[in-house]
Structure 1
Amino acid sequence: MRFNQIKPHIENLQKIGEGWRGVVYRGRYRGEDLAFKVASEEQFIPNIQKEGEILSIVNREGIGGQLILKGDDFISYRFIEGKPLKEVINRENAKILISQLLKQARKLDILGINKEEFHRPYTNVLVDKDLKIHLIDFERARRGKNIQNVNQLLQFIMGEGQKYLEPFDKNELIKLAKAYKKEKTDENFQKILEFLGIRG
C-alpha cells in the first residue's frame, strides 16, 4: 500500500514538515489523528521502511510516536501534540526533562539502537503540556555495537545543556561518562543520575 492510495481517505491532510528524505503530513485516518512520513523520492523508501522497523522496536519501551501503519513508501504514527525541546526547556524544568532524556537514552542503549542525535536534542524531542518528552525522527537511527545515546546526551549536558542546571564539576562528569562508555552497566548509569541529582 502506497501513500497515494490512502491519501484520498485522509481528512484534514496538511503538510507539517519536510526533510531531506521525507515529507511529514498530519491528518485524520480511520478516526485517529496521525502523522504520516512519506519518502520524498523512490530512492529514500528504504530509509522510511528502516525507520518504521526501528519505531516498532522502541515502541515496546514506550519510546517514539506510536506506530500505526507501515506502507510501501510511508509510515504513520499517532500525532504528538508538543513543542520542540528548545522552546520549552528552562532552569525550572530542566532536571525533569533531562532526567527523562537520560532514561530513554539508557533504554535505547540497552536495545542496541543508536539514535545518532542525542548530542543535539533541541528539535528532535517534543515536550507535551504535561512536560513528558517524546523522541521523534528515527530516520538516522541504526542498530549496532557502538551505541552511544547516553554519552551523546552527556555531551549536550556538558555543553549547551549545562546553562539550565546547577553548576557541576565537568571533569567529574567526564570521568563518569568514560566509565559508562567502557561498561554500560546499571551501576555506572546510576552514578551519572546521582551526580546530576536525578532519582533513578
Structure 2
Amino acid sequence: MTFKKLRFLGRGKRSEVYVFKKNNKLYCIKFKRKDSKAVGRLENEAKFLILLNKYKIGPKLIAYGSDFIVYEFVNGNFFIDYLQRSKNPLKIIKQIFAQCFIMDKLGINKEEMHRPLKHIIVFRNSVKMIDFERCHYSDKVHNVTQFFQFLYSRKEELQKKGINLKINYKQLQKYKKEINEKKYKDLIQTSLSSNHK
C-alpha cells in the first residue's frame, strides 16, 4: 500500500502519525517507529478498533497492516485544551464516561484514562478517543475509575466551571464488583453534578 503527500502530524514512543488526503477526505496513517522495539502494537490497535468502532468508539478504521494503520482524521481539540476553554464541559465529560463504561463492559482496558492529555479529541460537541495501541483484555477493568482519577486532579478547575466532583466511593466499589448499567448510572449521578441550569 503506497501513500503520497504525507504531512507529519505527531510522534509517540512507538509510532509516528501522518495526515493525507484522498477523495477530498482527510485520513491519518500511523507507522511503527523504526527505533521502536514494540511488537504487534499497531495490529493490536487495529484489532480493538474493529471491535470498538461497532460502538462508535475511536476513529473509523480504514486499513491496516503489520506496521501501519489508516483511520479517519478527527479534526478537533484535545480534551485537555477543551476543558480549559469550555464554560460547561459536563456534557462532554459524561460522553467520555459513557465510552469508558462500554469498554469496561467489554472487559477492555485502554490504559491511558488517568492521564488522557492527547488521547481524547472533542469536535462538534462529541468525543473521539484515539491511540489504542496499549489496549488489552482484563478481568480488572479500570477505564471509568482512571478517568475519575484524572478529573479529581482537576477538581478545583472543574469547581470554577460550576461542576461538582465528589466521588461516591461506596457506589464506586459497587460498580467495580458488578459492572452494569444501573451501578454505572448510580455512580455518575451521585459523583457528578452541575450548578448550571
Which residue of structure 2 aligns with residue 150 of structure 1?
A: 144
**1:145 and 1:30 mapped to 2: Cα distance?**
42
1:190 equivalent among 185, 188, 192: 185
Secondary structure in 2 matching 1:92: coil
**1:182 and 1:161 mapped to 2: Cα distance?**
26
Is this contact kept in 2: 1:97–1:131, CA < 8 A?
Answer: yes
Q: Which moved more, 1:159-168 or 1:102-111?
A: 159-168
Q: Which moved more, 1:27-36 or 1:79-88?
A: 27-36
Q: What is the CA deviation profile of residues 84-138 of structure 1, one whole-angstrom value per residue up to 9, with x for unaligned ones?
A: 111111462321111001100001111111001111122210111x221110111
Q: State whether structure 2 residue 164 is matched by structure 1 residue 167.
A: yes
**Structure 1: where are the runs of 5+ without partners?**
none
Matches within 5 A, 1:74-93: 74-90=68-84, 92-93=87-88
**Compared with structure 1, are the counterparts of its residues 131 and 161 closer, same or farther at alpha carbon in structure 2 (3 Å cutoff)?**
farther
More helix per residue: 1 or 2? 1
Aligned residues: 188
**Compared with structure 1, are the counterparts of its residues 159 and 43 closer, same or farther at alpha carbon in structure 2 (3 Å cutoff)?**
closer
Query: Identity of counterpart residues, as a percentage?
Result: 28
Q: Which amino acid aligns with 2:29?
A: F
Q: Which amino acid aligns with 1:167?
A: N
**Compared with structure 1, are the counterparts of its residues 132 and 162 closer, same or farther at alpha carbon in structure 2 (3 Å cutoff)?**
farther
**1:66 and 1:137 mapped to 2: Cα distance?**
12
Deviation at 1:168, TM superposition (A): 4.4
Deviation at 1:29, TM superposition (A): 3.4
Q: What is the CA deviation profile of residues 33-53 of structure 1, one whole-angstrom value per residue up to 9, with x for unaligned ones?
A: 110010113743511111111
Q: What is the CA deviation profile of residues 154-190 of structure 1, one whole-angstrom value per residue up to 9, with x for unaligned ones?
A: 11222224531433444xx222212211211211101
Cα RMSD for the two superposed structures: 1.9
Which residue of structure 1 aligns with residue 112 of structure 2?
A: 117
**Structure 2: where are the runs of 5+ without partners?**
none
Is this contact kept in 2: 1:22–1:44, CA < 8 A?
Answer: no
Q: State whether structure 2 residue 61 is matched by structure 1 residue 49.
A: no
Is this contact kept in 1: 2:119–2:130, CA < 8 A?
Answer: yes
Q: Which amino acid aligns with 1:72?
A: S
1:23 equivalent among 10, 13, 16: 16
Deviation at 1:59, TM superposition (A): 0.5
Q: Which moved more, 1:65-74 or 1:44-53?
A: 44-53
1:13 equivalent among 6, 15, 18: 6
Q: If the length of structure 1 is used for normalisation, what is the TM-score?
A: 0.86
- Give 4+ residue runs of structure 1 displaced > 4 Å after superposition: none
Secondary structure in 2 matching 1:69: strand
**Compared with structure 1, are the counterparts of its residues 161 and 120 closer, same or farther at alpha carbon in structure 2 (3 Å cutoff)?**
farther
Q: What is the CA deviation profile of residues 142-161 of structure 1, one whole-angstrom value per residue up to 9, with x for unaligned ones?
A: 11211111111111222224
